[in-house]
A and B are shown apart, each in its own frame.
Chain A
Amino acid sequence: MADQPTPFERFIQGILPENPVYRQLLGLCSTLAVTNGLKPALTMAGAVMFVLFSANVIISLIRNLLKPHLRIVVFTLTIAAFVTIVDRFLAAYMYQMSKALGPYIPLIIVNCIIICRCEVCASRQSVLTAAADAVGQSIGFGLALCSIAVVREILGTGMLAGFRVLPASWPSWTIMVLPPGAFLTFGLLLGLVNWIDAVRSRKKL
């Protein structure tokens, strides 16, 4: 147990060094699906943060009671409960957003980021570490979603979060808000992140 990451290390790792989207390539289904605008991306990031934080804390609290062969059942049960709460909450208080996100909120249940954090961190480490881990990973996920959403929404519609940022004469590249735009943007940004990383590690040597 001695060489396990501290809460602060867990927090920092989630944001950039082990970013769930750019480094671990997890949760890509929702990443590609909800990044056609900044607002849905932020809503998704918030929902994932709530679910991940709650699930991590609960799993960490009961980690000593977990049986190895039943742990996945417990993870899924916990995650599903919190996802359903988020889904109902959005339908009650953010009805239009809930309609726009459609099935992608219920699909957080199968978002690998969360089950991965339960397995890697929450089921082994203290509540504080698990909470810090959840916040770090959620911020990392949120930043990744926003980076893709900003590019797609601006190029696709000339607007950001509903406000016009490019002149009206901008010939909105509609493809950017369609599914191909998600793959294009994500691929290019992933390449960019890798390139920056390569340049930085070369400088260190």
Chain B
Amino acid sequence: MEQQQPDRRMRLRSGFKNSNLAQAWLVLLLALVFGSALAAVQVNLGHVIEANKVNETLEKIPELVFGADAARKLKQRQVPIEITPGTIAVEKDGRKAYYKLFRVTRDGTPAGWVIKARGQGYADVIELLIGLDDRAQTITGIFVLEQKETPGLGNNIGTARWRSQFVAKSTDRPLVVVKGGAKRPDAIDAVTGATISSRSVTRIVNRTIEDLRGRLIPAKIEFSERHG
């Protein structure tokens, strides 16, 4: 303690340069400068990042309803495709589920639906976009928005080839996952080495269709503003 007294006095005498404030001054100034720089970055990039998230979904929607080739042709011919986002609340067996969905119309006539659905996968939550025709009788396509399945095995659920199996499947009966080649019309061939991931996707699709069948009526849906 005694040694600290003269030490402290010396520090005071040597003035501002060695004071605590002078030392913290650099840190505070840097924090301020970097803080403003980051705020500027956020102001400039924030809306781009938000748009990326929305676009990822919106860009996929036409091909989930019309198929990849048809969607490209429609875009080339500049056929107006309207995408109206909305939400629907479903009450079933005492549980309540909410789905985000998109109603797709082509040149004003209803073309189909795209529903956002999520469920547990092998590693983490899998989020899907499921395309249905206008009367919700057949699946028109699925897309994997979010997944953290095993690289090299489970993440093959995202490949166009595997997903294409769902196209044109009827919504009358739940789909079943089989191994080593699907023969029945309601069968989905599992990804090799990733039966659980395959089952998870199929289960999410089945559950969503069961929840929404007969309920995809515009009157029951809360629509928000329109895109496209």
The contact size tier of chain B is: 20 to 34
Task: Indicate which residue in A70, A85, A91, A157 contacts B52 across the interface (CB closer than 8 Å).
Answer: A91
Query: Does A73 sit at the interface, judged by CB under 8 A?
Result: yes
Q: A77-B34, A81-B34, A81-B38 are in contact. Are A178 and B27 (CB under 8 A)?
A: no
Tell whether, in the assembled complex, residue A70 and residue B27 are in contact, meaning their CB atoms are under 8 Å apart: yes
CA distance A89 to B48 in the complex (A): 10
Query: Does A177 sit at the interface, judged by CB under 8 A?
Result: yes
Q: A73-B27, A92-B52 are in contact. Are A36 and B37 (CB under 8 A)?
A: no
Query: Does A31 sit at the interface, judged by CB under 8 A?
Result: no
Q: Which residues of B contact A67 (CB under 8 A)?
A: 23, 26
Q: A89-B45, A156-B152, A157-B152 are in contact. Are A77 and B38 (CB under 8 A)?
A: no
User: Which secondary structure dominates where chain A touches chain B?
Assistant: helix
Query: Does A184 sit at the interface, judged by CB under 8 A?
Result: no
User: Which secondary structure dominates where chain B touches chain A?
Assistant: helix
Q: Which residues of B contact A78 (CB under 8 A)?
A: 30, 34
The contact size tier of chain A is: 20 to 34
Interface centre among A89, A92, A172 (most CB of B within 10 A): A92
Tell whether, in the assembled complex, residue B27 and residue A177 are in contact, meaning their CB atoms are under 8 Å apart: no
Q: A70-B23, A73-B27 are in contact. Are A174 and B152 (CB under 8 A)?
A: yes
Interface flags for A152-189 (1: CB within 8 Å of B; 0: not) read: 00001100000000000000101001100000000000
Tell whether, in the assembled complex, residue B49 and residue A92 are in contact, meaning their CB atoms are under 8 Å apart: yes
Q: How far is the CB of B11 from chain A (nearest CB, A)?
A: 13
CA distance A39 to B194 in the complex (A): 25
Q: How far is the CB of A156 from chain B (nearest CB, A)?
A: 6
Q: How far is the CB of A96 from chain B (nearest CB, A)?
A: 9
Query: Does B120 sit at the interface, judged by CB under 8 A?
Result: no
Question: Please, which residue of chain A has its CB at the minimum distance from the CB of B55?
Answer: A95
Interface flags for B177-192 (1: CB within 8 Å of A; 0: not) read: 0000000000000000
Interface contacts (Cβ under 8 Å), in number, total 60
CA distance A88 to B34 in the complex (A): 14
Tell whether, in the assembled complex, residue B49 and residue A178 are in contact, meaning their CB atoms are under 8 Å apart: no
Q: Which residues of A contact B152 (CB under 8 A)?
A: 156-157, 172, 174, 177-178
Tell whether, in the assembled complex, residue B23 and residue A85 are in contact, meaning their CB atoms are under 8 Å apart: no
Query: Does B150 sit at the interface, judged by CB under 8 A?
Result: yes
Interface flags for A33-73 (1: CB within 8 Å of B; 0: not) read: 00010000000000000000000000000100111001001
Q: A74-B26, A85-B37, A93-B48 are in contact. Are A178 and B151 (CB under 8 A)?
A: yes
Q: How far is the CB of A65 from chain B (nearest CB, A)?
A: 5
A-B contact pairs, 8 of them (CB 8 A): A66-B26, A84-B41, A88-B46, A88-B49, A92-B48, A95-B49, A177-B151, A178-B152
Chain A residues proximal to chain B, CB less than 8 Å: 36, 62, 65-67, 70, 73-74, 77-78, 80-81, 84-85, 88-89, 91-93, 95, 156-157, 172, 174, 177-178
